[in-house]
Structure 1
Amino acid sequence: MADDGVLYRVYERRLARELSTLPLPQHLGVIVDGNRRWAKASGASTEEGHRQGAAKITEFLTWCEELSIPLVTVWMLSHDNLRRPAEELEALFGIITDTLGELVDAGYEVRLTGNADVLPEEVREQIRCRQERGRVTRELAVNLAIGYGGREEIVVAVQELVRELGAQGLEPDAIAERITTEAIGEHLYTRGQPDPDLIIRTSGEQRLSGFLMWQSVHSEFWFCETYWPGFRHVDFLRAIRDFCKRERRFGA
């Protein structure tokens, strides 16, 4: 009689074959939630929970590459997370910069998605240095959302747009007429990129918490109970299959 491991692998291969015939998401967002709760349940430190979560990101990106998904946005640190204890943030900043460096060294195109100004100066410098040393050799592009807040992103985009229009000498009414959805979109952190087709959130929470608020207007969502460090390949495949079977009408 086949053991559970064999049955699991058979199921995984069946899911992968099924997806090979379906239209896949071109931009995938993921809220990597539950690192601290995973650590508590496992008897590990909070820092170890974050490290395991970072390692899962690297693994997750290889799954996306296997399906030829071209763009992934990973929410590593929210604007609200900056209120956490200093000791936890110090460890988090180190884990984030190490992870970014590993992805750059692996050949991914890595783009910072967030307001770097809210990060400590030394963290910003470390991120800049790691990004500069990279050479893109892979097809998958990765947005790392660090210090990211959805409301803050929209405010920053509108502020940039208003300053740009004001520098042209336009009057207030003329500026107001130029503030369109298209114009704001051109000033978002994800400017020039497609909106996410699917957003995955782990840990059982069923909310976006401000993740890609503007861009997710037509996104599909998939929530699961698993904490992020425990997220499995089969969970990923199930999420993609569920997305592929939905009928997307985009409000029409």
Structure 2
Amino acid sequence: MEAAPSHAMPVAPPVHIAIIMDGNGRWAKARGLPRTAGHKRGAEAVRRTVEAAREMGVSYLTLYGFSSENWKRPEGEVTDLMGLLRLYLRNEVKHLHKNGIRLKVIGDRQRLGADIVRLIEDAEAKTSGNTALTLVLALSYGGRQELVDAARKLARDVAEGRLSPEAIDEDAVGARLYTTGIPDPDLIIRTSGEQRISNFLLWQGAYAELVFIETLWPEFGRAELESAIHEFHGRDRRYGAAR
């Protein structure tokens, strides 16, 4: 998909855009660089994309930063990724706060280092009152595990008499997901040409429009975001209804 010119971007962007950031390793390999270099450039793409989303008026931006399956990567790469995460949380929070951006992190925090969890909690608390954009980082996140956790919460509520089995509906499930209080994504973008959702927002993305682009994540920016939004506005969203 070629990037559409800036002037072609529709005036109103989707309320919630989610992105599967893919291609850091391939970007680095193509240049004879270590994977770490790709991840560092990917972090720069995060800043560009967050700034562009805020300027366009996007209300929610969810970025798939580190999946539950990513723990299986080589130990050195995981260590480097956690180091980059620490740097991001230390260096970017002031920038986010200054620009009115609220940060929320979803995923299994038990597998993250205690210092990272503290940085996340501090960042969420500091930016909690901001309204320009909500940036959701999915870290140590897996869609299936999220559904398992929601099922456990429902089971506990039923067992302890707070909920009847007959009262379990879609709203009850949604209220127990990591994303409670956040609208479902309208648009899910995946970079690098891969065409799968890789255990990302399985429940929430049921009716999201999917846009797959060839651009590797380190090269992603405003033009690619505008192009995906342009394609989104060309879709006929019927939510299962007949034409």
TM-score by length of 1: 0.87
Q: Deviating runs (4+, > 6 A) in structure 1?
A: none
Specify every segment of 5 or more residues in structure 1 that has no aligned partner in the other structure, as ranges. Answer: 1-8
| Helix, strand or coil at the partner of 1:193 | coil
Q: Does 1 or 2 have the higher relative contact order (CA < 8 Å, sep 6+)?
A: 2
Which residues in structure 2 correspond to 1:1-252 (within 5 Å)? 12-16=5-9, 19-20=10-11, 23-106=12-95, 107=97, 108-134=101-127, 136-137=129-130, 139-168=132-161, 174=164, 176-252=165-241
Looking at structure 2, the residues matched to 62 and 39 of structure 1 have their Cα atoms a distance apart, in angstroms, of 24
Determine if contact 1:104/1:131 at 8 Å carries over to the other structure: no
Quote the Cα distance in structure 2 between the aligned partners of 1:101 and 1:111: 15
Change (3 A) 1:89 1:28: same
Which letter maps to 1:96? L
Q: Could you tell me how far 1:169 is from its partner in structure 2? A: 6.7
Amino acid at match of 1:120: G
Q: Aligned with 1:217: secondary structure?
A: coil
Provide the aligned C-alpha RMSD in A.
2.1
Pair 13,128 (structure 1): closer, same or farther in 2 beyond 3 Å: closer
Unpaired runs of at least 5, structure 2: none
* Residue 96 of structure 1: how far off its partner (Å): 1.6
* Alignment: residue pair count: 236
Q: Which moved more, 1:53-62 or 1:93-102?
A: 93-102
Percentage of pairs with the same residue: 36
TM-score (norm. length: structure 2): 0.90
CA distance in 1, matches of 2:74, 2:104: 27
8 A contact 2:48–2:221 mirrored in 1: no
Look up the equivalent residue of 1:158 and give its one-letter code.
Answer: A
